Chain A
Amino acid sequence: MRIPFGFLVLFLFGIILIPLHLMSSATQKASELNQWYSWLLLINVLGSVLLLGLVGGNIWWLVRQFRKRTAGSRLALKMVLLFVILALTPASIVFYYSYQFLHRSIDSWFDVEIDRAMESSLELGKAALDQRMQGLLKRTRQLAEDLEDVPEKVRVIELNRLRDRSGASELTLLTRRGRIVATSSAGLDLILPSMPDPSLLSLARDGAYVSLDPSPGPVVEEKGAALFQVRVLLPLELEQPLFLQALYPLPGRINALAQTVENAYAHYQQMAYLRRSLKFSFSLTLALTLLLSMLASIWAAFLSIRRIVAPVKMLVQGTRAVAQGNLDSRLPILQKDDMGFLVSSFNTMTTHLARARDEAERSRRQVEDQRAYLETVLGHLSSGVLTLSDQTRLRTANQAAETLLGVDFSTIIGKPLRSLAEANPALAELVQLIRSRLLENEGVWQEEVIIKDQQGQKVLLCLGSPLLGADGHRSGAVLVFDDITALVQAQKYAAWSEMARRLAHEIKNPLTPIQLAAERLERKLKPQVSRAGGEVLERSTHTIVQQVEALKTMVNAFSEYARLPKLQPQPVAMSILIDEVIALYPPDSGVEFQLDLDPQLPVILADPLRLRQVLHNLIKNTLEACAPPVEVKISLHLVEQRGGKGIEWVVEDNGPGVAPDQVEHIFDPYVTTKSRGTGLGLAIVRKIVEEHGGTIHLDRQYQQGARFVIRLPLESERPLQKSPATRRVREGQPHSHNVTG
């Protein structure tokens, strides 16, 4: 069962009030607690020390909390200061005026007139008693004179008679040393007479001694009992020096009055003496009461403030936790009041926030998954994908875009679109196209773009589409690039192959009858014509046959181009292959070779016959284009290229090179700058290289002649393909499907 806080505080104050009340009661004169005053004082002092320690501990706790900037410490400090000021101010005022009132009250007990009255009453009493004592002294002297005439033997009897006559309660004869000689007493209860103190005997030795003497013997505390008696001591000069002691009782009325005067005077004197002590002790009691009450109040205030601040502290900590993203903490509801309601509301709020956060997290994860999915898909696409912001700034680009456009996007992401052209000047036309399309604010658009760089030209199919936000507004654009160079080339090959096949079919078939007809004409007509006519006929027939042969050769070449045999791949050491080929060109052939072959080159998987044809065609092309002597430099190196390692095979000559207007078409069939040849040599070279998965281009920057750069992938980096054209076509189909779909 939980005890209410208010009850605990009341109980505490009750515990504190009990010793305070007892101590206050102990200051009453008639109180039985009077004898316990010191203990009660000590208990209250210890209580004060205990409370002081508790308050000090709380103050230390508060100061530490404040220095640490703990949540709620400022509020607690303010409340404590406010409470202490509010409590101390009236308490101090009350204490000050109580202190003043106390001191003035005590001072008012003592007055000069009262002093004088008390002194006078005492003096009056003394005077009255002195007079009576003088009379008794005189009476005793008379007794002494009477006794001096009495013989020693009857002195005891005479002593009784004199006592009866004088009204004394006791007559005693004493030696000078205080020994009893004879005594006579009125009472029967006392066996021994009341003996004077030896000091009194010495006082009486020189004359007489008379005093108002409190009755010696057992203490009698009955009210009205005779306290005083008159003691007279006289020296006697008998046969030996003696003392006569006479004790006279005072009349009851006088005795009572004397006691009253003496008690009142003694009490007043005592109070006057205790005046300063009373002030001090009352002030101490008052101060202790105030101190104890204040300390108890401050402690109770600390307990209350800590209870009040606890939910605030929790709320601040909870708010900080929420600010740091911890929405799972729930605060305990300690009180069923406004603070409890506030804490409950806070818990509800954090619950809602946590729910919203979880939903947001789920959404974020979904978006993240989708983004990762898209990144993966885009990263593995062979199509280049580029996104632009609303301000035509580059936002994202996939790996294929970097490969296709030949740009490192990591340095230009976030920059304007024109930076694409700055990174790769060959893309200027493409950038211009995109800008114009974006400015036209078209929807989905598609265009083929030819990019010309050092490695030749590349045909890109560019598809543009606006990016729409969730609200339907345009937030940028997405561009998809597909390299359709191979597709275009394949289409071109297919067309050329078809044309070659038809040429072979349509041209080659009539050539034989033409040739046979021409030979028959010569054979039939030669005998019938003149000699001169025969010569003409022979020359003409020969020309026809020769040209038909030439046409046959050409048609055979076309046929061969159209029907190149399938690759027969096998491990090939390129250095050996090159050595074998150039061995066929002796020094008198007019060709001088310079070789730069990397000895560390690995073996590649290729068709050696076709690669020999490549080198033969290139050398033949050089020989046909140049007048001997010709210098052909062949180099072979391992290179790192996009997509993996490869072999760079360079064949360069010192010939006239290629005219700029022919550069784009030198690998096309039936294109030749030479007076001889079919125009198929370089076309076949390109076809063979591409069938091996490689590339070939003419180095445009090489000015000393023609420089062909062939790059062949290593076998480990590529799967063998039956036909590059076929491959390209097959890859191109899904691309175009992607673009259009």
Chain B
Amino acid sequence: MRHLNVLIGIGLWLCSLLVWPQEYGFRVRHASLSFQQDAIALIAGITYRFSDTLIEALQHGVPLTLTVTTSIRQPRHWLWDDTLWRRKLNFRIQYYPLSQMYRVVDETNRFQRSFPRLETALAALGVLDEIALPVDEGWAPPRNSYAQLRVRLNIERLPWALRPLAYFSPEWRLYSSPYRWQISK
């Protein structure tokens, strides 16, 4: 009886997640890869909606790192899909109180930009335009492979004291659903 109550509770909680969508989260709107000689160019549009907790932390000077993971995978019948290629892009956003600016740093390419408003900073973060990802020269994905893009808040880049709480708080555990598309050369 007790187990039944627990199961009913979990079911109701899952239903509530579906009926009342959370006001925060990440979503990959579109993404595409274009293959070049020794690199793959990533074009993607991502919507970032930070939770109040994240915004509060950001405005208190806590740097937040967003990790965009791009991978090319090959389906397998009886096992999980095989990852043929994967690259991670880290973007850090931090608030500067003196200048009252949000600075966005592309850690991969070590390039930074500043924005007076969070919305514009997040919008700028969400635009990945022709970002070159290195690949072995001449490498080409198999025919039946597909690409996948997902983004998450990198909890391991948070200050150590925040990590235990962040792992158990849904407001901190922000990530997008994997965005998949078939590769067309």
- Of B35-43, B57-65, B68-76, B132-140, the one contacting chain A is B57-65
- Judge whether A280 and B99 touch: CB under 8 Å: no
- Is B57's CB under 8 angstroms from A262's CB? no
Check: A273 CB closer than 8 A to any chain B CB: yes
* Given known contacts A27-B160, A197-B113, A281-B160, A262 and B96 CB-to-CB distance under 8 angstroms: yes
A41 in contact with B62 (CB, 8 Å): no
Given contacts A38-B167, A216-B114, contact A270 B159 (CB under 8 A): yes
Q: Is the CB of B120 within 8 A of A197?
A: yes
Contact with B along A696-715 (1 / 0, CB 8 A): 00000000000000000000
Contact code string B104-139 (vs A, CB < 8 Å = 1, else 0): 010000111111110010001000000000000000
Interface residue? B103 (CB, 8 A): yes
Residue contact B98 to A258, C-beta cutoff 8 Å = yes
- Do A41 and B164 touch (CB < 8 A)? yes
Is residue B156 contacting chain A, with contact meaning CB distance below 8 A? yes
Check if B165 is an interface residue, CB within 8 A of chain A. Answer: yes
- A-B pair number, CB within 8 angstroms: 108
- Surface stretch bound by B, among A206-214, A363-371, A479-487: A206-214
Q: Which residues, 103 to 133 on A, are CB-close (under 8 Å) to B?
A: 122, 125-126, 129
A270–B62 alpha-carbon span in the complex (Å):
6
Interface range, B side: 20 to 34
Chain B window 38-61, contacts with chain A (Cβ cutoff 8 Å), 1 for yes, 0 for no: 000000000000000000110011
The docked-state distance in angstroms from the alpha carbon of A126 to that of B99 is 8
B163: interface (CB < 8 Å): yes
State whether B101 touches A211 (Cβ < 8 A).
Answer: yes
Query: What B residues does A265 contact at CB under 8 A?
Result: 61, 97-98
Q: How far is the CB of A128 from chain B (nearest CB, A)?
A: 10
8 Å CB contacts to A: which residues of B73-105? 95-99, 101, 103, 105
Evaluate contact between A269 and B116: CB separation under 8 angstroms.
Answer: no
Chain A's closest residue to B56 (CB) is A273
Taking CB atoms, residues of chain A closer than 8 Å to B111 are 217-219
Given the contacts A199-B116, A277-B165, A214 and B99 also touching, CB distance less than 8 Å: yes
Give Cα A126–Cα B96 distance, bound, in whole angstroms: 12
* Min C-beta distance of B22 to chain A, whole Å: 22
Chain A 214-237, CB-CB to B under 8 Å as 1, else 0, gives 111111000000001000000000
How many chain A residues sit at the interface, stated as a range, is: 35 or more
* B161 at the A interface (CB under 8 A): yes
Q: Which residue of A lies closest to B167 (CB)?
A: A38
Please state if A213 and B160 are interface contacts (CB–CB under 8 Å): no
Q: Across the two chains, which residue of chain A brings its CB closest to B63?
A: A270
CA distance A274 to B164 in the complex (A): 12
Q: Which residues of B are found within 8 Å of A349, using beta-carbon distances?
A: none
The A interface, classified by DSSP as helix, strand, loop or mixed, is: helix
The answer to whether A214 touches B120, judged by C-beta atoms less than 8 angstroms apart, is no
Complex Cα–Cα for A115 and B114 (A): 27
A211 touching B98, Cβ below 8 Å: no
In contact, A211 and B99 (Cβ under 8 angstroms):
yes
Given known contacts A199-B117, A214-B99, A269 and B164 CB-to-CB distance under 8 angstroms: no
Closest residue to A221 on the B side, CB-wise?
B110
Which residue of chain B has its CB nearest to the CB of A281? B161
Q: Which residues of B contact A219 (CB under 8 A)?
A: 105, 110-112
With an 8 A cutoff between CB atoms, is B162 at the interface? yes
Cross-chain contact of A269 among B61, B99, B103 (Cβ < 8 A)? B61
Is A34 an interface residue when CB atoms closer than 8 A count as contact? yes
Among residues of A, the one whose C-beta sits closest to the C-beta of B106 is: A219
A502 is an interface residue with CB less than 8 A from chain B: no
Q: In whole angstroms, what is the CA distance A677 to B164 when docked?
A: 138
Complex: A200 Cα to B112 Cα, angstroms: 16
Contacts A199-B115, A216-B113, A216-B114: A277 and B98 contacting too (C-beta < 8 A)? no
- Contact of A270 with B164 at beta-carbon distance under 8 Å, contacts A212-B99, A214-B114, A265-B98 already known: no
**11 intermolecular pairs with C-beta atoms under 8 Å apart:** A27-B160, A38-B167, A199-B115, A212-B101, A214-B114, A218-B111, A266-B95, A266-B96, A270-B62, A273-B62, A278-B161
Nearest first, the 3 closest Cβ-Cβ pairs linking A and B are A273-B60, A266-B61, A262-B98
A interface with B by C-beta (< 8 Å):
26-27, 34-35, 37-38, 41, 122, 125-126, 129, 197, 199-200, 203, 211-219, 228, 258, 261-262, 265-267, 269-270, 272-274, 277-278, 280-282, 284
Beyond A26-B160, A277-B165, list 10 extra A-B contacts (CB 8 Å).
Answer: A197-B115, A214-B112, A217-B112, A258-B98, A262-B99, A265-B97, A270-B62, A274-B162, A278-B161, A280-B164
